[in-house]
Amino acid sequence: MSEGNPEGLRLASDVSLGAGVRLFGFVNLYGCKIGDQTRIGCFVEIQCGARVGARCKISSHTFICEGVIIEDEVFVGHGVMFTNDRRPKAVAENGGIITNDDWQCQPTRVKAGASIGSGSTILSGLVIGENAMVGAGSVVTRDVPAGTTVVGNPARSIEQSNRNYP
């Protein structure tokens, strides 16, 4: 089930791991579900309620928060950050610290076969379509249609991006 540094694994008892999952040192998983034959790199955190499909590769230093659903055969590069709240706050209107009752998770779905390049940020409430590709370092602020490649900040399709070049 694991390689690298098994002592560095932090797996809560409520984690569901499929057959043949490979975990590398210093991962933090709790309340999530990981599909068969998926590989999770070093220094990855996957939070409660997140799901990662079968035969995915989640590269090191990636953060997958509550509400993220990654379907089968998705590639996630190094240092990818998912979000689940478009307007995060530390305190409520009454000045008290925000609790789970004070916000609503905005789910994100990454469809089968998609690829997300290293260093990308995926804002909440989006769908990244089947076989779509997100270029490295992109900030995805809206849905990405199936089969589309997007790049930049904010991420735009290659066709739109190329209009700015001679």
Domain of 48, CATH number, reads 2.160.10.10
In a domain, 11, yes or no: yes
Higher pLDDT, 61 or 2: 61
53-82 in b/e form (b: 16+ CB < 10 A) is: bbebbbbbbbbbbbbbbbbbbbbbbbbbeb
Is the distance from CB of 75 to CB of 58 less than 8 angstroms?
Answer: no
Cα–Cα distance, 23 to 162 (Å, whole number): 39
| pLDDT, tens only, 77-90 | 999 999 999 888 89
Domain count of the fold of the chain:
1
Three-state helix/strand/coil letters over 60-123: CCCEECCCEEECCCCEECCCCEECCCCCCCCECCCCCECCHHHCCCCCEEECCCCEECCCCEEC
Inside any domain, residue 97: no
Specify if 76 maps to a domain.
Answer: yes
Region 58-63: what's the mean pLDDT?
98
Look up the domain containing 145 and give its range: 6-86+105-162
Q: What is the pLDDT of residues 107-117, one digit of tens each?
A: 999 999 999 99
Domain annotation covers residue 93: no
2: pLDDT strictly greater than 80: no
* 4 compared with 31, residue with greater pLDDT: 31
Q: Is the pLDDT of residue 4 over 50?
A: no
Segment holding 161, helix H or strand E:
helix 158-162
Within a domain: 95: no
